[in-house]
Amino acid sequence: MTDYKEVVSSVRNSFASGKTKNVQFRIQQLKNLLRFYNENAEKILDAVYKDLRKPNLEAKLVELEVTKQDVEQLLNNVAEWAKPEKVSKTIVTMMEEPIIVKDPYGVVLVIGSWNYPVQLTMMPAAAAIAAGNCVIIKPSEVSSNTAKLLEEYLPKYLDQECYRVVCGGAQETQELLKQKFDYIFYTGAATVGRIVREASNKFLTPCTLELGGKSPTYIDGTADMDITVRRILWGKFTNLGQTCIAPDYILCTKEVEKKFISKAREVLKEWYGEKPQDSPCLGRIINERHFKRVSRLLESGKVAFGGSTDEKDLWIEPTILVDVEATDPVMQEEIFGPILPIVNVDNAFEAIKFINAGEKPLALYVFSKSRDVTDLFLQETSSGGVCVNDTIMHFSVDELPFGGVGNSGIGAYHGKFSFDTFTHKKSTLIRKFDAIGEHLGSGRYPPYSEQKVNRLLFLIKKRNLSFLKYMPYIATFAAGAATALFIIYINKGKQPALVTPVPQTWNEFAYRYLSKLRHAVRL
């Protein structure tokens, strides 16, 4: 087994050298990463295909392009994001410099998952690099082809003293977790999330846990069924259901269910043909263990569509189950496969009660034209994220933090949130040796007196200074008005010759356009 102690200690020495604190160095590494994607695009798509039979165009989009765009965004912003951030001032800090200094944590461990093996490993790794950390990347051993590719090719592009790829399974990861890290970013199941959390506790290491869970989908009678069906089926069956925010199950009335099933049959035939197993648009279950686990869940309720399996091909047909009860096996765990059970509820209140009886989900989906209904779900449920009238798409909005809550995770990333995740925000106050500041603050020095305390209390009292944000506008207006009045005043009694159609001097301007005002203020 690799000597992880040695690996972490050599990377720690590199961090101590200060190399990664240089923003230009980070930019160069991100450029190298981009080159890695561009020069090895075919190899990457091929590895992902071998791991998951992920359709090439789907993989191109969600593994390659998304990941490249992420690096582009970091490249475009890293210099700005890494700068110390000015914060708003108060009466007390008026003469000071309160700033947030962006410190990298140090040595970061990124543990990836197999279902989107490039994206979910490399997006956090890239953000950790941008934030100035040294990074140890541990891809999932389950997606072994992608793991091997990252292990072989990344060192050719990234600085080997600062960034290392280590491969291995549960045992190796647990050995790795015995080392001290400064931040751990883990993506995967909650059971392992607990192991990671426990290991990080030993060193009080902060960590992000990107976990999963059962993401519910509620459909009401007002939803546009044509669009609803397409959006739900796409979210469910892309990557053959192995997506952390795939809609796990549907909650709706029997009436809505009938409409949903009828449309779903049509759409699934349109997308995947008569024999979905031959469709080039569907992947495969990652391995035998998961095939057996997911197949067992088919025994719940009644099959309304699909249901066939082929163990040798690791194939499970996109399947819709009806007459499913909350106590059925398919409702006891995250499905993480192409099975979509429908549980009947009478209304939104019942659906909310059902959702709140379980763990907090990673995503929650509501399909309804009624704003009251969607607001009800927003107010009465708790989940990592919500997408109304679509599935998965909130994941693609970089301005939204992506992460779980409760059992579905701790922390969030994407866009600037990713950079912030790997950055310690060092609160910094820079003061001067000025006499006024010293006098104002001298009330804190002994000997204490009532008068000194009162003076301090006056200074530190929290005031609502939100009106200060209008000060620049008020000041601009006041300056303009003062100038106008001054011009009017100095022109009092004078009448410039108006020979040109457009005023040529300030005097002409004042005479023409401000004479009414002059009259009004009787100057």
Q: Does 301 bind ligand NAD (CB under 6 A)?
A: no
Q: Which tokens is 513 given?
A: 């356009």
CA angle 181, 175, 20 (to 5 degrees): 30
Quick note: the x/- pattern for ligand NAD over 86-115, rule CB under 6 A, is -------------------------xxxxx
Q: Does 188 bind ligand NAD (CB under 6 A)?
A: yes
Residues 364/321, Cβ–Cβ less than 8 Å: no
Considering only residues 52, 211, 321, 363, which one is a binding residue for ligand NAD as defined by CB under 6 A? 211
Q: Report the site for ligand NAD in 308-347 (rule: CB under 6 A).
A: 334, 336
Residue for token pair 């359709």: 55
Other Cβ atoms closer than 10 A to 458: 11
Taking CB under 6 A as the binding criterion, the range among 187-195, 295-303, 337-345, 428-436 that sits at the site for ligand NAD is 187-195
Taking CB under 6 A as the binding criterion, the range among 55-63, 87-95, 153-161, 205-213 that sits at the site for ligand NAD is 205-213
Taking CB under 6 A as the binding criterion, the range among 59-67, 82-90, 99-107, 137-145 that sits at the site for ligand NAD is 137-145
Considering only residues 29, 67, 119, 140, which one is a binding residue for ligand NAD as defined by CB under 6 A? 140
Residue whose CB is less far from ligand NAD, 142 or 364: 142
Which residues belong to the active site? 210, 244
Residue whose CB is less far from ligand NAD, 178 or 426: 178
Considering only residues 73, 144, 173, 179, which one is a binding residue for ligand NAD as defined by CB under 6 A? 173
Residue whose CB is less far from ligand NAD, 132 or 385: 385
Q: Does 142 bind ligand NAD (CB under 6 A)?
A: yes
Helix (H) or strand (E) holding 38: helix 23-39
User: CA 164, CA 148: separation in Å to the nearest integer?
Assistant: 13
Considering only residues 57, 61, 91, 170, which one is a binding residue for ligand NAD as defined by CB under 6 A? 170
Q: Does 368 bind ligand NAD (CB under 6 A)?
A: no
User: CA 120, CA 115: separation in Å to the nearest integer?
Assistant: 8
Residues 204/213, Cβ–Cβ less than 8 Å: no
Residue whose CB is less far from ligand NAD, 132 or 212: 212
| Residue of 174, 168, 226, 235 lying closest to 200 (CA atoms) | 174
| Residue of 161, 137, 130, 159 lying closest to 423 (CA atoms) | 130
Q: Which tokens is 314 given?
A: 């690791």
Taking CB under 6 A as the binding criterion, the range among 30-38, 152-160, 183-191, 462-470 that sits at the site for ligand NAD is 183-191
CA 54 to chain centre: 24
Considering only residues 78, 118, 120, 392, which one is a binding residue for ligand NAD as defined by CB under 6 A? 120
**303's torsion region: left (phi>0), alpha (psi -120 to 50) or beta?**
beta
The beta-strand segments (E) located in 41-174 are 85-86, 97-104, 107-111, 134-138, 163-165
- Least spacing, CB of residue 429 vs ligand NAD, in Å: 37
Q: Does 187 bind ligand NAD (CB under 6 A)?
A: yes
Helix (H) or strand (E) holding 319: strand 319-322
Q: For residue 401, give the DSSP letter.
A: -
Residue whose CB is less far from ligand NAD, 195 or 261: 195
Q: Which tokens is 426 given?
A: 């060092």
Other Cβ atoms closer than 10 A to 195: 16
- Least spacing, CB of residue 341 vs ligand NAD, in Å: 17
What is the per-residue burial (b if ≥16 Cβ within 10 Å, else e) of 349-388? Answer: eebbebbeeebbbbbbbbbbeeeebbebbeeebebbbbbb
- Least spacing, CB of residue 198 vs ligand NAD, in Å: 10
- Least spacing, CB of residue 366 vs ligand NAD, in Å: 20
Residues 243/391, Cβ–Cβ less than 8 Å: no
Residue whose CB is less far from ligand NAD, 106 or 112: 112
Q: Does 58 bind ligand NAD (CB under 6 A)?
A: no
Residue whose CB is less far from ligand NAD, 123 or 134: 123
Residues lying near ligand NAD in the complex (CB under 6 A): 111-115, 120, 138, 140-142, 169-170, 173-174, 187-189, 192, 195, 210-212, 244, 334, 336, 362, 404, 409
